[in-house]
Structure 1
Amino acid sequence: MNGSVYERELASILSGDPGSVERYSRRVAQDTQQAVTGLIQRPFYVVRAAGSLGADLVAVRDDYTLIIEVKSSASRRLSFSEASYKRQEQAERLVERCSRAGLFLTYAFRLKNAREDPWRLFSLGSVRPGRMALLKALIPEVEQTRSGNYHLVWEHGVPLSVVIDYVNHGTV
């Protein structure tokens, strides 16, 4: 499957589509299922961004704004140095743009064929103090190799359901 399938999947979950939220909630830990289904009542407004040089999704609600780059892989590790360093350059460009707006970049890593919650989130960049800084503290930073290249390790990310629980209830 190509990446746009997963972009659409995440967009439909965050935008509170009842069918997508119900399907996703069956895959998450029982203690976060209620928070996930809460997206039906309190969804994000999600826009899929056009073009390959910007972020994939922008999710906005009255209290949070997420700039999201979606990545998917059958492997539990995704290196940004692959594909002629284009992922690395894109990340640096997006972080700079987000930082100027007082936001951080969120990577949503979808593990293909995962049995449990397939989505893990990572953050990149700095953010001003406030509500967004508290959210960023919950989401682990994108890791770097010794040579400075970014990489995602699926197990090191925070499950999407935990982030949804936080934004809906303010607790972890």
Structure 2
Amino acid sequence: MASHYERELRAVLIGSPDGVRAVTRSCTAAEKARAMQVIRRPFLVVRAAGSGVAGAGDLLAVRGDISFPIEVKTTKEKKVYLSGRTMVQYLDLQKEGERCGLMPLYAMRLKGVRGDSWRIFKVETSNLTGAVSILARRLPALPLTRNGTPHLDWDEGLPLHNFLSLLCRDSDSYTQTAETLRSKANAWTEKAETLKMEDAQKAILEQREPEEWVKKFRL
């Protein structure tokens, strides 16, 4: 059964019009339009060779500007807790993500709901660069339980149509976003330096005022 949903997600990511229409059949017109963007910028998607490949996920999506392994989970419950084998899967994904500079993903499909039934989560890694680092800022990580253990919560994931819309923005948009972030960072740095200089000048003036008063008193 799991392989059926892997094929469903694969059909979407490779930009198959029929595949996209199948998963957005009960979505709104706006949601369908966002999802359809993947037809213009599709992925090559391959299934992992087998469960023995640690950290490879179920699918590997590859495109010229970005690639990521995907672990697919299907469930009737909105929350899935990781333990035992599933926790090992998570840790393996995280390890490979750190080792290779990748952003592993979980794709969670909730059965029996209308609209977009897929939700996307990222596995937290610390060494992302380029377009993937910009994309990662927009994706939710797996939420944590009260004990600090990652788990899947469908309500907290990013809907697939929104994920596809982010993925299929033009590369110029990513460049513009990066430039905007850099510009804001530079502006904050300049403002901090200006405030620092103003504080230093104020401290000097405050120090001079008593000295001027003493001079007048002596006269």
* Residue 51 of structure 1: how far off its partner (Å): 1.5
> Letter of the aligned partner of 1:141 in structure 2?
A
> Letter of the aligned partner of 2:145 in structure 1?
T
Instruction: Measure the CA separation in 1 of the matches of 2:63 and 2:28.
Output: 24
Residue number in structure 2 paired with 1:50: 49
* Residue 66 of structure 1: how far off its partner (Å): 1.9
Question: What is the TM-score when the length of structure 1 is the normalising length?
Answer: 0.89
Question: What is the TM-score when the length of structure 2 is the normalising length?
Answer: 0.71
Residue number in structure 2 paired with 1:59: 61
Work out which structure has the larger RCO, using CA pairs closer than 8 Å and 6 or more positions apart in sequence. 1
Q: Which has the higher strand share?
A: 1
Q: Secondary structure, in 3 states, of the residue corresponding to 2:168?
A: helix
> Letter of the aligned partner of 1:22 in structure 2?
R
> Letter of the aligned partner of 1:80 in structure 2?
L
Residue number in structure 1 paired with 2:139: 139
Residue number in structure 2 paired with 1:167: 167
> Letter of the aligned partner of 2:87 in structure 1?
Q
* Residue 26 of structure 1: how far off its partner (Å): 2.7
1:114-129 correspondence runs (5 A):
114-126=113-125, 127-129=127-129
Does the alignment pair 1:28 with 2:27? yes
Instruction: Measure the CA separation in 1 of the matches of 2:116 and 2:129.
Output: 30
Does the alignment pair 1:86 with 2:89? no
Question: 8 Å contact 1:88–1:149 — kept in the other structure?
Answer: no
Instruction: Measure the CA separation in 2 of the matches of 1:167 and 1:147.
Output: 33
Residue number in structure 2 paired with 1:112: 111
Which has the higher Rg, Structure 1 or Structure 2?
2
Q: Secondary structure, in 3 states, of the residue corresponding to 2:93?
A: helix
Residue number in structure 1 paired with 2:77: 75
Deviations 1:2-34 (A, max 9, x none): 211111110111011221112223333432322
The number of residue pairs the alignment matches comes to 167
Q: Which has the higher helix share?
A: 2
* Structure 1, unpaired ranges of 5+: none
Question: Which portions of structure 1, spanning 4 or more consecutive aligned residues, are displaced by more than 4 angstroms?
Answer: none
Instruction: Report which stretch shifted further, 123-132 or 43-52.
Output: 123-132
Instruction: Measure the CA separation in 2 of the matches of 1:64 and 1:34.
Output: 22
Give identity over the alignment, percent. 36
Q: Secondary structure, in 3 states, of the residue corresponding to 2:64?
A: coil
Instruction: Report which stretch shifted further, 155-164 or 136-145.
Output: 136-145
Instruction: Measure the CA separation in 1 of the matches of 2:23 and 2:46.
Output: 20
